[in-house]
Amino acid sequence: MNLALRDIRHNFPRFVFTTFGIGLLLMIVMGMGGIYRGLVFDATFLVNQINADLWVVQGNTRGPFAENSRIPSNLEDRLRPVPEIARSRRFVSHTIQREHHHKTLRMTVQGLDYPNDKGEWVYLIAGRALAQAHFEMIADRSLGLALGEQVQFGKDVYRVVGLTRGMSSIAGDGLAFFSVSDAMAIQFDQPSEAVRLERAARFARSETDDTGRTQPLLLERAAGSSALISELALPQVSAILVSLQSGANTERVIKLLSAWSDITVYTAQQQRELLLSGSVDKSRRQLGLFSILLIIISTIIIALIIYTLTLDKLYDIALLKLIGARNRVIVGLILQQALLMGALGYGLAWWMGQYLFPYFPRRVLLETPDLIKLAFITVGISVLASLLGIWKALRVEPNTVLS
């Protein structure tokens, strides 16, 4: 006869509700750990997937994710002749927030160097990669856009030709992939009135200059498109992605490029470290602290529950002692109940998490090592929580029954 099971059967409704509450607590602990893993995954996902050996960014910056980076797009041409470099491609990244069908549409725009990079490496659940240099996009499913849907950004309309899943930025915004030229057009788009005022201001500045007064053609050009004025810099990209030749000496290439004072070069591993130590570091630490606090709170709550259940059984425990039951029988009664609550609560937490976590706004990534670790923590919590009840049970005198 197992006394723990008989006691549970006697107080079955209370045991069920108590186990359910413990399961909710453990689900929150499990979710916190999953959000932590998901944050790390989102931060490094694009760096892992884009498969670049080197990231060339603006000099003395930590771009393009940890910090803004702006470099001329023709840097790609400067990099091509460098020994041991197989391929270089432009990359643009920025975040926008617009209105679409009367709803807020917030996304992180990623510019791909079409036709060198059409987005074949992007995991697609529907549609295809980019097939032309303009007016096509690949969108993450979390953005709520349908395949074939048309979205207007600035003065242009873009059609969704591909859908992906589970691709989001550090902030949790869904990714959208465009060609580099389209991504820059979206980033630097200005209202017509702003363009007109800028041209009028350029004309006014040139008109007051001696060169402008003596050369009317300069005035005409100043009032025209910025692209026709050679002195004005073209829109800049966020980074240049470099792929090295097979067997190339990475350190030698980095040393060679480090002599260029206008750029900074990072390996893919360094880019990951920059993200984890910068953009997401405080969030990681905060989630870790919340997880520890929840584990402590869970231990206290389970201990109080076990203690309360023990108080309700003090008469029965005294009767067991009176008829000669050993202390290990009483300890086993309380400890087995605590372990059973912990085990069932853990199983309930995992089961509920499978259904609830996919609806969370941020990615919740449950990894097997973390689940195993939490299972051992749950066992430890159950044992520690039972100590208070065991202490109270062992202090009960057998003659309590007689009184």
83 and 112 belong to one structural domain: yes
| Residue 66 forms part of a structural domain | no
Convert the pLDDT of each residue in 208-256 to its tens digit: 766 656 666 666 666 666 655 655 556 778 888 888 888 888 888 888 8
List % helix, strand, coil for the chain (3-state, nearest 5).
55, 20, 30
pTM over 0.95: no
Do 99 and 248 fall into the same domain? yes
**The dihedral sign for the CA sequence 78, 79, 81, 87:** negative
Check whether residue 249 and residue 330 sit in a common domain: no
What's the whole-number mean pLDDT along residues 292-302? 81
Neighbouring CB atoms inside 10 A of 377's CB total 18
**Tell me, what's the pLDDT at 234?**
65
Assess if residue 79 is contained within a domain.
yes
Distance CA 105, CA 119 (A): 22
271 within some domain: no
> Does 346 lie in the same domain as 322?
yes
Query: Residues 197, 342: one domain?
Result: no
- For residue 92, the model assigns a pLDDT of 87
**Looking at the domain assignment, is residue 54 inside a domain?**
no
Do 22 and 102 belong together in one domain? no
**Average pLDDT of the chain?**
81
Residue 160 lies in a domain: yes
As for how many domains the chain has, the answer is 3
Mean pLDDT of 84-99: 87
Whole-number Cα distances in Å, 230 to 35, 190, 227, 238: 49, 20, 7, 22
Domain contains 335? yes
For the chain, percent of residues with pLDDT exceeding 70: 83
Number of neighbours of residue 361 by Cβ within 10 angstroms: 8
Cis peptide before 398 (omega within 30 of 0): no
Residues 80 and 93 in one domain: yes
Domain presence at residue 32: yes
Least confident of 47-56, 232-241, 351-360: 232-241
Considering the domain architecture, whether residues 382 and 301 belong to the same structural domain is answered as yes
Residues 306 and 380 in one domain: yes
| 393 in the same domain as 308 | yes
pLDDT computed for residue 1 by the predictor: 40
Are 139 and 113 in a shared domain?
Answer: yes
Q: Is residue 319 part of a domain?
A: yes
Tokens of 192: 């017509």
- Indicate the range of 33-42, 125-134, 301-310, 372-381 predicted with least confidence: 301-310
Residue 185 confidence (pLDDT):
85
Verify that 223 and 239 share a domain, yes or no.
Answer: no
Per residue in 19-33, pLDDT (tens digit) is 888 888 889 888 888
Entry field: residues in the chain:
403
Q: Which domain holds residue 84?
A: 72-188+235-261
